Amino acid sequence: MKFALFLFGASILGSATTLFATRAMSNTDSFSDTCVAVQDNGFVRTAARVPSVETDFTVAAEKTINAVVSVKTFVTPRMQQRSNDFFVDPFEFFFGPGNGQQRRQQPQQQESKPQQLGLGSGVIITTDGYIVTNNHVIDGAEKVEVTLNDNSTFNAKIIGTDATSDLALLKIEAENLSPIVFGDSDGIKVGEWVLAVGNPFGFTSTVTAGIVSAKARSISQATHGRSMGIESFIQTDAAVNPGNSGGALVNTNGELVGINTAIYSQTGNYAGYSFAIPSVLVKKIVDDIKQYGTVQRAVLGIQFTELTAEMAEEKNITATREGIYVAKVTDRGAAMEAGLKEGDVIIKINGNDVKNNGQMMEQMNKLRPGDVATFTYIRDNKTHTTKVTLKNNQGTTKITKASDVIDLGCTFKKLSAAKKRDLGISNGVEVVGLKAGKFKEAGIKEGFVIVDINNAPVNSQEEVENIYNAIMKSTDTDKVMFITGIYPTGIKKYYAVDLTD
């Protein structure tokens, strides 16, 4: 009897153990098996229980799809085009033989009507209608139209643009919108799942998935030296196509980690990698545009290059094999004042690694003139730190303000053919309505006829404004109009108009 009871108890215990093990092994929602093959030389088959990857993106899609909009741009043709002219699509950065999509543009009718110039995406960032997109999406547009996910359509005002970062801020008159939540692009990791949300090929509210392939990626090498501005992108293999530009790159929580900007492709369509501006930089640039009207950029005052293993060996640098090698220190710059010298290797800014150009530019673009940053660097194979008070491109710590052609303090009158003959010139504009401003400070007087600015001939106020805007948008330290002209008396004059504050 005792033996029978023992067998009965053992069988119950064995059944319970088997049931528990079976249920645990069948729980495939949380675990998956990986096996090592049996070998004859002593290795045995093993099974490891590891957590499976979360691939449910429905929550992230639902959180973001109403925050991403379609952005259409329109322009009115101003002149009849020849039938053999070519039009190059300006709305995507495509590299390789398929640069843009060239197509013959049909002759325009004399009756000019607004025509759609391009299609991109944008991201709602406030409940009252502020939207961020790419600068190249709206560049050159006379009218910008925004369509929400519910098909509501609004005319958008361009609040500000920044060609260097390829970002633009729009505003529509709407309330109670569904803004996106900003995430921390610094915190994302290579290999992490991300979603691209936008309007590729005009297909609205499209979501694609991929992983983060790299961070702080510089792509000027792939573009054969053509700088893309910030040069510190999040690289991903999520499918991004024409129309995705300005759309959202989000993490699995539905938080914005980047603005999709460019793709690397031989055809102009998705066939490789896509690149997004990190959300940390997007937020800083948008805040600058809203608060100051222009982006505040900190200048360190050095010329630099990436440290390579070959360079480290040549310079007898043994403390590090990566970092930013200081090739030259600018006189009276922030770096010189902080004690940095040629030959130093910068390895951290505010505790963040700067191993390459992309990371260096990313950290610098987070800062403003007047900010005090901690730089960690190697000198004589020893680690040092210093505090650097950063400056603007004019060598001061002042916040720069947005300027307008109105700051010149005059308007420009088109010359009649008769007046051109009298003065013996073929082109020019007359300075009229002169008042306090940049021109008067430079010594220009009422009635002066401008023939060219920076060696570019001018014939209208629009051409003067275009030159002015190009100068102000450039990254050059010196922002100057070199003007050649003539007074009604026939005296030829030259002026240099300083456009800096």
- Spatial CA neighbour of 468 closest among 424, 422, 417, 411: 411
How many Cβ atoms sit within 10 Å of the Cβ of residue 365? 23
Phi, psi of 385 (to 5 degrees): -130, 150
Torsion of CA 199, 202, 205, 210, to 10 degrees: -50
Which of 245, 265, 274, 279 does the annotation list as catalytic? 245
> Distance (Å, rounded) from C-alpha 146 to C-alpha 73?
9
Q: Quick one: tokens of 409?
A: 């303090």
Q: Let me know how long the chain is.
A: 501
Active-site annotation holds for 384 = no
- Spatial CA neighbour of 364 closest among 137, 165, 111: 165
Q: Quick one: tokens of 477?
A: 């330290």
Amino acid at 202: G
Cβ 287 vs Cβ 359: under 8 Å:
no
Active-site annotation holds for 404 = no
Query: Strands 181-182, 255-264: parallel, antiparallel or unpaired by DSSP?
Result: parallel
- Spatial CA neighbour of 146 closest among 135, 166, 130: 130
> Distance (Å, rounded) from C-alpha 63 to C-alpha 378?
45
Which of 166, 265, 274, 403 does the annotation list as catalytic? 166
> Distance (Å, rounded) from C-alpha 419 to C-alpha 414?
10
Cβ 257 vs Cβ 251: under 8 Å:
yes
Q: Burial of 97 by CB count in 10 Å (0-12 exposed, 13-18 middle, 19+ buried)? A: exposed
Active-site annotation holds for 136 = yes
Which of 70, 121, 136, 232 does the annotation list as catalytic? 136
- Spatial CA neighbour of 207 closest among 312, 56, 317, 325: 56
Cβ 263 vs Cβ 148: under 8 Å:
no
Place of tokens 């990986």: 34
How many Cβ atoms sit within 10 Å of the Cβ of residue 301? 21
Catalytic residues: 136, 166, 245
